[in-house]
Chain A
Amino acid sequence: MSTDGTGFRVGEPLTDSAAPDGPIAERWRRRRFEAKLVSPANRRRHTVIVVGTGLAGGAAGATLAEQGYRVVQFCFQDSPRRAHSVAAQGGINAAKDYRNDGDSVQRLFYDTVKGGDFRSRESNVYRLAEVSVEIIDQCVAQGVPFAREYGGLLDTRSFGGVQVARTFYARGQTGQQLLLGAYQALSRQIAAGRVEMHPRTEMLDLIVVDGRARGIVARDLVTGRVDAYFADAVVLASGGYGNVFHLSTNAKNSNATAVWRAHRRGAYFANPCFTQIHPTCIPRSGAHQSKLTLMSESLRNDGRIWVPRRAGDGRAPGEIPEEERDYYLERLYPAFGNMVPRDIASRAAKNVCDEGRGVGPGGQGVYLDFADALARLGRDAVAERYGNLFEMYERITAEDPYGVPMRIYPAIHYTMGGLWVDYDLQTTVPGLFAIGEANFSDHGANRLGASALMQGLADGYFVLPATLGDYLARGAAAGALGEVGHDHPAVHEAVFAVTDRLYALLSNNGDRTPESFHRELGALLWDACGMSRTEGGLRRARERILELHAGFWERVRVPGGGEQLNQSLEQANRVADYFELADLMCRDALHREESCGGHFREESRTPEGEAQRDDERFGYVAAWEFTGPGVPPVLHREQLAFAYVHPTQRSYQ
């Protein structure tokens, strides 16, 4: 183990021991064949805990229960139907080639590896592309009402970063419909008694016994009861951590606690600084704002993005003649135009606003203009495609996008980092699996549109159910999955740690609300570790985060008690984890002296100002090991190899 001198130690390299070799198209089939099986009669003897009920968790819970395992599932919402996947708007990719436009598994794989800026794993991404085809079949069979042509076949559209129309959609509510499909399948298993569902219950710690994940500690948010739950394996499907920024497109209650507590128990955290910033959000309107609302990227299919040519042009959009407008994406990236990937579009918007050409209050906005589409297609056709998004925009801004251009600005949207997992989706803690946005594996440094839904469902319906059985079969055969109960010292310790911390929060006689800390932390992180990062900014942010964290434990005040529904307590408990996570994000961003996807280090750019990757020095996954509070973490590098898609400078010009 060596010391690097910048606040972390370097540990042994990490390898994905579950990844098969051989021809890439054969790997998933081979892995499935080589997996040990649990016979149907033995499955009911195994209990699996699933935390979260979004696309990944809902699909996994339903599928594992249907396979015959006993599933104990948790969500903090009042119903599994409300998981944040429900809010995804645009669509889900699949390499179906129904359009005969040259799509294939190979091409989806290629686009995804390239779009991820060569920081994802080829094997994983190839499997994702293969499985994508089955996902659509599965969802259609469940009655998910995808958009259809008059002939009764499925309609598709195109998304950012690609040149084929492979995105299946259900108006602007694709996430909702896919989630309801999974939720309905899960509800069927709950009613049949094969899933024991705990809504309004939040995971607060992981129970590790003899080096294996054997359960969780969770708090019933209504009664305040803290209890331990046991299983042969634990699956975290608890989503991303974008809310660390305070303002993001995430649901208000999405949080990092489940993955963070697992990280503290030994699960490595990979690439925490890779945050996706979505280019098409409604700009913030004031300090009161509680969250940001995304407008589907699919709008860029028909909307044209522009700003005035002249800085400080205060005229209404309709008064600015064509020749005085700058359609900057079409100008800079003629091949992709408005459909460039999210990181490119976001940065370009920031640049024109930094030049003083932004529109709307505070100059933090660019126009997304549908005038051409309305003239070309007519109002009815535009309404058919995007009607609900237009309504949503009007409701929030009180402006009619059929009459004036929408105003948009980038916002924190999706986190590509997460718990490190191997090809089997298993973390560095045996028996602990992470799926969907909670893991890091498939998107690389940047996520293409419509690929998050694909990954969530691929993990939940297809990948995890195949690999989890192998773990259970081998563990049972080795006699490693014996009984664990409340009397085990590791269980006592975990339950005590949770109750002790809740007590500390409730009894602290401070003068500041959890919300005020969250706002301050979020603003700090957005400035230093948001759309662009500098060494100096990150170093200063780390110092300030440490101060703020210390201040939190001195000054936070949580009204009410612990044995009741107490939303302030829930928030305080989550914000406490955000401080530690924010620090790791800044460390990760600081050590990665390259620009990559959504991680833009100002020191590392091409002469044209685009992101400059450094594959030689940083062509790896950064997996961080927690070694104790206040102790520098240990960096384990997983070297990435590209045998099928040769790394090139991403160019969309």
Chain B
Amino acid sequence: MTLTLRIWRQPGPDAPGRMTPYRVPGVSPDMSFLEVLDTLNERLAQDGEEPVAFDNDCREGICGACGVVIDGQAHGPERTTACQLHMRHFEDGATIDVEPWRAGAFPVVRDLVVDRSALDRVIGAGGYVTAPTGSAPDAHAVPVPKPAADTAFDNAECIGCGACVAACPNGSAMLFTAAKVVHLNALPQGEPERESRVLDMVGRMDDEGFGGCTNTGECATACPKGIPLASIATMNREYLRAARRRPGR
């Protein structure tokens, strides 16, 4: 296959960026989208040009490092990560637009790389169970009903890639935050911090400059791990419950 990639090139955070077209021949349908970028970069480097910067690491769809908007969709047309998106889903001769995540809370670092550290700070605000090491009770001391364990797991699968933020017209991180709140609040281990967790995480999310949620649902459509939209409703319920019980926080 031969493709034309129109890629967002931006040398640095404050430099202007623009879409730049590149012709990439020799694309195999078995390649992942990132392997196409590798192929292009190898040629650019060979010619002494600067390769396209993009984040990637595990290439197994689990680390959450990769993330580009492909033809207007976060991670492209299939519901997966860019590293697991294979070229058999594209037509020979196609022109494909490749852009970074665009959101107020995710400043561009270079080309397709953005700074997602705001998500780490949302976790730091309460996305954990305060469990000191070394003296935990026996794991069987607290049984967890299977439905609760399954709900927790379904939400714990979030890889923190930021596709939900990129897909949201408001640049909201509600799905990301909800995934962690629902994961931990579903478990008995998360119960003692149930209220402070949701209040602090939502507060932090707002402080980081993520937009509000207007129930568009694009986030859940783009999520490569299938975090359900219903998690946002659950988080809203948790938030109202906590706010009622702990007014003034």
Binding site for B on A (CB under 8 A): 59, 62-63, 66, 77-82, 84, 86-87, 96, 98, 134, 136-143, 145-154, 170-171, 173, 176-177, 180, 183-185, 187-188, 190-191, 199, 222, 251-253, 285-286, 288-291, 293-294, 392, 395-396, 398, 461-462, 465, 513-516, 557, 559-560, 564-568
Known: A142-B189, A143-B189, A148-B146. Contact between A559 and B51, CB under 8 A?
yes
Known: A138-B136, A142-B129. Contact between A251 and B184, CB under 8 A?
no
Contact between A152 and B143 (Cβ–Cβ < 8 Å)? yes
Contact between A199 and B117 (Cβ–Cβ < 8 Å)? yes
Contact of A87 among B31, B44, B62, B80 (CB under 8 A): B62
Q: A-facing mask of B82-93, CB < 8 A → 1, else 0?
A: 001010100000
Contact between A187 and B127 (Cβ–Cβ < 8 Å)? yes
Binding site for A on B (CB under 8 A): 11-12, 28, 30-32, 34-35, 38-39, 42, 44-46, 48-51, 53, 55-65, 78, 80, 84, 86, 88, 109-110, 113, 115-117, 119-121, 123-125, 127-134, 136-140, 142-146, 149, 152-153, 156-157, 159-160, 183-184, 187, 189-190
Contact between B51 and A145 (Cβ–Cβ < 8 Å)? no
Other than A63-B133, A82-B58, A137-B138, give 4 A-B pairs with Cβ distance below 8 A.
A82-B160, A185-B131, A559-B45, A564-B12
Please indicate the chain B residues that have their CB under 8 angstroms from the CB of A222 in the complex: 109-110
Q: Write the chain A residue with the least CB distance to B115.
A: A78
Q: How far is the CA of A148 from the CA of B184 in the complex (A)?
A: 16
Contact between A513 and B45 (Cβ–Cβ < 8 Å)? yes
Contact between B65 and A77 (Cβ–Cβ < 8 Å)? yes
Q: Write the chain A residue with the least CB distance to B48.
A: A559
Contact of A81 among B35, B110, B120, B142 (CB under 8 A): B120
Contact between B133 and A143 (Cβ–Cβ < 8 Å)? no
Contact of A559 among B44, B57, B159 (CB under 8 A): B44
Q: How far is the CA of A398 from the CA of B132 in the complex (A)?
A: 45
Contact between A557 and B45 (Cβ–Cβ < 8 Å)? yes
Q: Write the chain B residue with the least CB distance to A465.
A: B133
Please indicate the chain A residues that have their CB under 8 angstroms from the CB of B125 in the complex: 191
Please indicate the chain A residues that have their CB under 8 angstroms from the CB of B138 in the complex: 137
Contact between B57 and A252 (Cβ–Cβ < 8 Å)? yes
Cβ of B52 to closest chain A Cβ, rounded Å: 9
From A140, A147, A294, A564, name the one whose CB has the most chain B CB atoms within 10 angstroms.
A140
Please indicate the chain A residues that have their CB under 8 angstroms from the CB of B149 in the complex: 145-148, 152
Contact between A565 and B136 (Cβ–Cβ < 8 Å)? no
Contact between A291 and B59 (Cβ–Cβ < 8 Å)? yes
Known: A143-B152, A150-B146, A188-B128. Contact between A290 and B133, CB under 8 A?
no
Please indicate the chain B residues that have their CB under 8 angstroms from the CB of A252 in the complex: 56-59
Please indicate the chain A residues that have their CB under 8 angstroms from the CB of B129 in the complex: 141-143, 184
Q: How far is the CA of A416 from the CA of B46 in the complex (A)?
A: 35
Please indicate the chain A residues that have their CB under 8 angstroms from the CB of B121 in the complex: 191
Please indicate the chain A residues that have their CB under 8 angstroms from the CB of B140 in the complex: 98, 153-154
Q: How far is the CA of A359 from the CA of B119 in the complex (A)?
A: 45
Binding site secondary structure of chain B: loop
Please indicate the chain B residues that have their CB under 8 angstroms from the CB of A568 in the complex: 45, 50-51
Contact of B139 among A147, A154, A185 (CB under 8 A): A154
Cβ of B81 to closest chain A Cβ, rounded Å: 10
Contact of A515 among B42, B49, B134 (CB under 8 A): B42
Please indicate the chain A residues that have their CB under 8 angstroms from the CB of B143 in the complex: 148, 151-153
Q: How far is the CA of A267 from the CA of B63 in the complex (A)?
A: 30
Contact between B128 and A187 (Cβ–Cβ < 8 Å)? yes
Cβ of A173 to closest chain B Cβ, rounded Å: 7
Contact of B58 among A84, A149, A151 (CB under 8 A): A84
Q: Write the chain B residue with the least CB distance to A171.
A: B153
Q: How far is the CA of A98 from the CA of B139 in the complex (A)?
A: 10
Known: A63-B133, A176-B62. Contact between A190 and B124, CB under 8 A?
yes
Task: List 12 A-B residue pairs with CB atoms under 8 Å apart, sorted by A's residue number.
Answer: A63-B133, A63-B134, A79-B119, A81-B160, A137-B137, A137-B138, A138-B136, A142-B129, A185-B133, A288-B28, A290-B59, A565-B110
Known: A187-B127, A565-B109. Contact between A86 and B46, CB under 8 A?
no
Please indicate the chain B residues that have their CB under 8 angstroms from the CB of A137 in the complex: 136-139
Please indicate the chain A residues that have their CB under 8 angstroms from the CB of B109 in the complex: 222, 565
Contact between B12 and A557 (Cβ–Cβ < 8 Å)? no
Please indicate the chain A residues that have their CB under 8 angstroms from the CB of B117 in the complex: 78-79, 199
Please indicate the chain B residues that have their CB under 8 angstroms from the CB of A145 in the complex: 149, 152-153, 156, 183, 187
Q: Write the chain A residue with the least CB distance to B131.
A: A141
Contact of B124 among A96, A154, A187, A560 (CB under 8 A): A187
Contact between B60 and A293 (Cβ–Cβ < 8 Å)? yes
Q: Write the chain A residue with the least CB distance to B149.
A: A148
Q: How far is the CA of A432 from the CA of B215 in the complex (A)?
A: 51
Please indicate the chain A residues that have their CB under 8 angstroms from the CB of B31 in the complex: 286, 288
Contact between B160 and A515 (Cβ–Cβ < 8 Å)? no
Contact of B34 among A86, A96, A153, A290 (CB under 8 A): A290
Contact between A80 and B120 (Cβ–Cβ < 8 Å)? yes
Please indicate the chain A residues that have their CB under 8 angstroms from the CB of B132 in the complex: 66
Known: A138-B136, A565-B109. Contact between A81 and B80, CB under 8 A?
no
Contact between A87 and B45 (Cβ–Cβ < 8 Å)? no
Please indicate the chain B residues that have their CB under 8 angstroms from the CB of A184 in the complex: 123, 127-129
Contact between B30 and A62 (Cβ–Cβ < 8 Å)? no
Contact between A170 and B153 (Cβ–Cβ < 8 Å)? yes
